Amino acid sequence: MTTSANIAAAISGFEATFGYRPTGVWSAPGRVNLIGEHTDYNQGYVLPLAINRRTYAAVSLRSDSTVRVASSFSSQVHEVQLSEIANDTANDWAGYPLGVAWALQQLGAQNASGFDAFFDSDVPVGAGLSSSAAIECSIASALNELWNSNFDRQILASAGQLAENSIVGAPTGIMDQSASMFGKADKAIFLDCKTLEAQKVELGFEKENLELLIIDTRVAHRLVDGGYAERRAACELGAALMQVGSLRELSSADLARAETVLDEVTLRRVRHVVTENERVLKTVDLLRSIGPRAIGDLMMQSHSSMRDDFEISVDELDTAVDVAVRHGAIGARMTGGGFGGAAIALAPIDKVSEITLAVIAEFELLGYAKPNIFAVSAAEGARRDA
C-alpha cells in the first residue's frame, strides 16, 4: 500500500468502528537493527534504522474518560476507563496503546482524557521488526499532541518502553522506540543507551547499489516468553559479579578477569554484550570512513556471537545467514530479540534475486516454513500524517 492508502484505511476503519470522523492520523515505523543486539538494556550501543513499514493510528479525543481501541488486525474493540488501565487490562496487541496512555500519565501528562483510536499497519507481526514499538510510538505521538503534553521524542520513546515493561510485561530496552521516534531516511540511529544521545549515521546503501534484505523466517518470537528475560537476568548477574553498574562499563580487556570470576554460561553471555558493543562502535567508524561495503565481517561476527555465546539464534536464522552469504551477501545476521523472527542480509542489488531464490529453496529442502523476504529502506520516524 502507498502511504495515502494506509492513511485512508486508518480513517475508514475508524469511521466504520466508531461512526464519526477522526481528528487526525499519526504514524510510526517499525525498525530493523543493523547491529548491537541485547546491548540496549546493558546501557550499551545500538545502531537500528526505522523502516518503510508503518503503523497508522487514527485518533480522536472523547469528552469522557473512556478509551476504545480497535484495529484492522483484530475484530475486537477494547473498551476501558483511562484510570483502570493496569497490567491485566489486555493480554493482546491492545496492551501496547493502552499501556502508552497509562505511561504518558506516569511521565507527567496533565490533560489526559479518553480517546478512540483505530490502528492499521503494514509492519509484519512477530518478525522482529518492532510492530509493537510502531503501535506505541504512533499513539504516543497522537496523545502527545491531543493532550497538549509537549513531551520531546525521547520521552515519547520512554513511554513506549514503560508501557511494554509495566503493562505488557516484556522487560525490553529502549532501542525499538528510539528508532521509531528518531528515524531518518537513509540514516541509521546510533544510540548510546546510557546517555540516550542519538546520532544519525549515513548508511549509503543506495550509492553503493546495496539493498538491505529482511528474511523473515516466520518462526514467531515473543518477547514476553522466558528467553529474553533470562538473558537479561544473566547480564545483570554478570555485571554484579564483575562489580560494575552495567556491562557497558566492561571492554574486551576485562574478559580475562571475567573468566576467573564468572561461570561458563554467564561468561559467554557477558562476552557477547562486551564484544557486541565494540562491534557497534567499529561499524559506525567504518560507515563513516569507508562505507557500507566494509561492515560485512562485523555483521557475521555479531551473528556468530549471538548463535554461540548468547544462544538466541535458531536453525532457520543460521540457515538464512549462511545461504545469503554463500550467494553473495556482504554480511548477514539475525536481528532483534532472537528465538525466531528475522535475519538481515546486506546485498548487492544484482545478487538479491539469487539470494532470495536460494534461501527459499534451502528452507524448502530442510522442511522449514516458507520465509518472507523483502527489502527495506531507512525511513522517517513518527509523525502526523493527516
Where do contacts with ligand GLA occur on this chain (CB under 6 A)? 33, 37-38, 40-41, 172-173, 175-176, 223, 336-337
E strands, the chain, are 24-33, 45-46, 48-61, 66-71, 74-81, 115-121, 187-192, 198-202, 210-216, 331-334, 342-348, 372-376, 383-384
Do residues 211 and 351 touch, judged by C-beta distance below 8 A? no
How is residue 185 written as a grid cell? 531516511
How is residue 63 written as a grid cell? 469528552
- Shortest distance, CB of residue 204 to ligand GLA, whole angstroms? 23
Is 40 designated active site? no
Q: In the Cβ-directed half-sphere of 326, how many Cα atoms lie within 13 Å?
A: 11
- Shortest distance, CB of residue 294 to ligand GLA, whole angstroms? 22
Instruction: Decide whether 37 or 116 has the Cβ nearer to ligand GLA.
Output: 37
Instruction: Decide whether 276 or 362 has the Cβ nearer to ligand GLA.
Output: 276
Q: What is the DSSP string of 194-230?
A: TT--EEEEE--TTTTTEEEEEEE------TTSHHHHH
Instruction: Decide whether 41 or 151 has the Cβ nearer to ligand GLA.
Output: 41
- Shortest distance, CB of residue 170 to ligand GLA, whole angstroms? 7
Catalytic annotation, pick one of 176, 192, 263, 318: 176
Residue 377, phi-psi category: left (phi > 0), alpha (psi -120 to 50), beta (remainder)? beta
- Shortest distance, CB of residue 245 to ligand GLA, whole angstroms? 18
Select from 231, 223, 209 the least CA-distant residue to 328: 209
Do residues 299 and 307 touch, judged by C-beta distance below 8 A? no
For residues 64-88, one letter each, b for 16 or more C-beta atoms within 10 angstroms of the residue's C-beta and e for the rest, the string is eeebbbbbeeeeeebebebeebeee
Distance, in Å, from the CA atom of 373 to the CA atom of 128, rounded to the nearest integer, reads 13
- Shortest distance, CB of residue 358 to ligand GLA, whole angstroms? 27
Name the β-bridge partners of 118.
58, 70
How is residue 144 written as a grid cell? 502527545
- Shortest distance, CB of residue 319 to ligand GLA, whole angstroms? 21
Instruction: Decide whether 39 or 105 has the Cβ nearer to ligand GLA.
Output: 39
Instruction: Decide whether 181 or 223 has the Cβ nearer to ligand GLA.
Output: 223
Report the catalytic residues: 176
